[in-house]
Structure 1
Amino acid sequence: MNKLINNNFIKNVTKFNRSNLSLLSTNKIINSNSFVKHYTTSNEERDREEIREFIRQQSITDTRKIAKPKNAINRKVKRNLAYQHNRNPDNIILGGIVSSSQPVPPHIQVPPYVKGEKVIDMDLDDPIEIHTPESIAGMRAVCKLAKEILHFAGTLVKPGITTDEIDKIVHEEIIRRGAYPSPLGYKGFPKSICTSVNEILCHGIPDDRPLQNGDIINIDVTVYLNGYHGDTSATFPVGEIDEAAKKLINIAQKALFVGMEAVKPGEQFKEIGRAIQTMTHKHSFGVAAEFTGHGIGKTFHCAPYVFQCVNKFDFVMKPGMIFTVEPLVVESTTPFVEWEMWDDEWTIHTKDYGWSAQFEHTILVTEDGYEILTE
């Protein structure tokens, strides 16, 4: 489950870009010219645009050469091409009816936020946990379960089934395995998994819309077992999909793996974003810069932020760190994707309705590289 960089999450940032730009709190940005911009909760769209610009500036001020899209497909041309295949250009995803949350038996251990404990949002300069052998063992167990639940969820994907039905079946399987579905009740999220279809970028709430032949769906699974969270996601085809959707899914998978290949002890976290953006833009797809991977363990979301674009986050990876890599790859006429949030305050769709695909793993930094805990 992605973390969103916006005024709801950024609080005290002092180390993100020490040389040129520092975010000092949720309500101000200061750069080397002492130019101050204030964030307010009264205009979240403006705030998001300021942070998009901040991310863009991180990219354009980088000194190394980054591949740029050369032949990005015009939106009209892309939609005409889609129409020639299976995709209906008028089939825009709309919110359906969301059923009640599924019950959880009393014997299931629940995360602290379900019992009313306040979720404390992570900061960019928070210390990054070095996991102990005990917590690594706990994370291996929960991530193994998350992988198995995601695989099970994928077998349910077919034309005609609703995302609500998938959610209910997956919820029951998680409970049967003695775990808790981490999204349920997290900051008010009403369901046990996230289901993001076609142009839904992320955080889609399962509802009564049946999946249609030619759709693609990202299913994001996080489970809580014995005090630890394990997080993983994948994008699945629904029936027969067109060539454009196949390419999108393929590049999203490659983006995940080039990001993971940048994980090694002694390397800076920014190399993950550099690798993802370079490969994604090479193939003329966009990235959603404000949505990031994150640290994970006993806390659902914790330091570090793991950006999927060029940045100057200079923290160093060390053995024992655990975090997610989860690039969002999008059909887009621009390198950095514009998006909008639904009134449910969760569902994110691409502004020009380009489709999105995502794959995610939880990663452990080892002495000589990395271990994929959710593989």
Structure 2
Amino acid sequence: MIYIKNSQEIDYMREAGRIVGETLLMLKDIIKPGITTAEIDKIAEEFITKQGAKPSFKGYGGFPATLCISINDQVVHGIPGKTVLKDGDIVTLDCGALINGFHGDAARTYAVGNISDEAAKLIKVTEESFFKGIEKAVIGNRLTDISHEIQEYVEANGFSVVRDFVGHGIGKSLHEDPEVPNFGRPGRGPKLVEGLVLAIEPMVNIGGFHVRTKQDGWTVVTADGSLSAQYENTVVITPDGPEILTLVK
């Protein structure tokens, strides 16, 4: 079932979104060679809890950490630990926060030190594909109008879109209906209406779109070992167009 949010609920989600956005912006400044993923996770958890919120991911389905931290060929759901970031890595931080009974969810891929031109292009195209997609996030369009725009932009730039993992509705639950693919034909799925809140999250690979899950049961990597990037925001459909709840500058 798709849950449409009223104005009060959207205000709660703005607060959750602000906390997520501020967390990711703060973390951008500490992403440097030599830091461990566990250290990043600890800083994020302390920041979120000081805001009066709870990390959405910690304990979700048994996930052990505040952030999903995925490095290089890791697509999603990387578990923070003793891994030390190195110059030339790219790292995706996926963050959620719960406050007033509502969640916010967003992800960014950051450069660690000096990265290759190809890796920089991957990060840029992934972010741009999100903004191309939400150009279609207007009342009266169909859900897959967003999906199609993302896929078209990614593939026009020579990359591929992950098929096995998709975006989602969000609200009182971290994952709600509808699923939001980053690929597919336009004009399908539910109509976009005022108060619909979606976590839109292109996951883009330099190589093929196939992925596999590692033995830890969480970490998803590209099947061919190529680099992967992600860019996600929580977005509400309004009469004035899409409002991004997790984008803080």
TM-score band, normalised by shorter chain: over 0.9
- After superposition, residues 142-181 of structure 1 pair within 5 angstroms as 142-181=16-55
Instruction: Report the secondary structure of 2:166's partner residue.
Output: strand
Residue 369 of structure 1 aligns with which residue? 241
1:129 paired with 2:129, answer no
- After superposition, residues 103-114 of structure 1 pair within 5 angstroms as none
Residue 229 of structure 2 aligns with which residue? 357
- After superposition, residues 198-217 of structure 1 pair within 5 angstroms as 198-217=72-91
Alpha-carbon distance between aligned partners in 1 of 2:194 and 2:100, rounded to the nearest angstrom: 23
The AA in structure 2 aligned to 1:322 is: V
Residue 184 of structure 2 aligns with which residue? 310
Instruction: Report the secondary structure of 2:134's partner residue.
Output: helix
Instruction: Report the secondary structure of 1:314's partner residue.
Output: coil
1:343 paired with 2:215, answer yes
The AA in structure 1 aligned to 2:199 is: T
Moved over 6 A (4+): none
Higher relative CO (Cα under 8 Å, sequence separation at least 6) belongs to: 2
The structure whose Rg is larger is: 1
1:271 paired with 2:142, answer no
1:191 paired with 2:191, answer no
1:87-123 Cα deviation digits (max 9, x unpaired): xxxxxxxxxxxxxxxxxxxxxxxxxxxxxxxxxxxxx
Identical counterparts, % of pairs: 38
Alpha-carbon distance between aligned partners in 2 of 1:253 and 1:356, rounded to the nearest angstrom: 12
Instruction: Report the secondary structure of 1:329's partner residue.
Output: strand
Residue 43 of structure 1 aligns with which residue? none
Aligned residue pair count: 246
Residue 330 of structure 1 aligns with which residue? 205
Alpha-carbon distance between aligned partners in 1 of 2:234 and 2:155, rounded to the nearest angstrom: 24
Following superposition, the deviation at residue 368 of structure 1 comes to 3.2
Residue 319 of structure 1 aligns with which residue? 194
Alpha-carbon distance between aligned partners in 1 of 2:156 and 2:182, rounded to the nearest angstrom: 14
Following superposition, the deviation at residue 176 of structure 1 comes to 1.4
1:245 paired with 2:119, answer yes
1:62-84 Cα deviation digits (max 9, x unpaired): xxxxxxxxxxxxxxxxxxxxxxx
1:307-334 Cα deviation digits (max 9, x unpaired): 10014742100001001110001111x4
Gaps of 5+ in 2: none
The AA in structure 1 aligned to 2:8 is: E
Alpha-carbon distance between aligned partners in 1 of 2:201 and 2:66, rounded to the nearest angstrom: 19
Contact map agreement 2:68 2:79 (CA 8 A) in 1: yes
Following superposition, the deviation at residue 370 of structure 1 comes to 1.1
1:261-296 Cα deviation digits (max 9, x unpaired): 110001000111110111111111011012111111
Alpha-carbon distance between aligned partners in 1 of 2:123 and 2:201, rounded to the nearest angstrom: 13
Residue 288 of structure 1 aligns with which residue? 162
Instruction: Report the secondary structure of 2:147's partner residue.
Output: helix
TM, length-normalised to structure 2: 0.96
Instruction: Report the secondary structure of 1:277's partner residue.
Output: helix
Instruction: Report the secondary structure of 2:173's partner residue.
Output: coil
Alpha-carbon distance between aligned partners in 2 of 1:325 and 1:262, rounded to the nearest angstrom: 12
TM, length-normalised to structure 1: 0.64
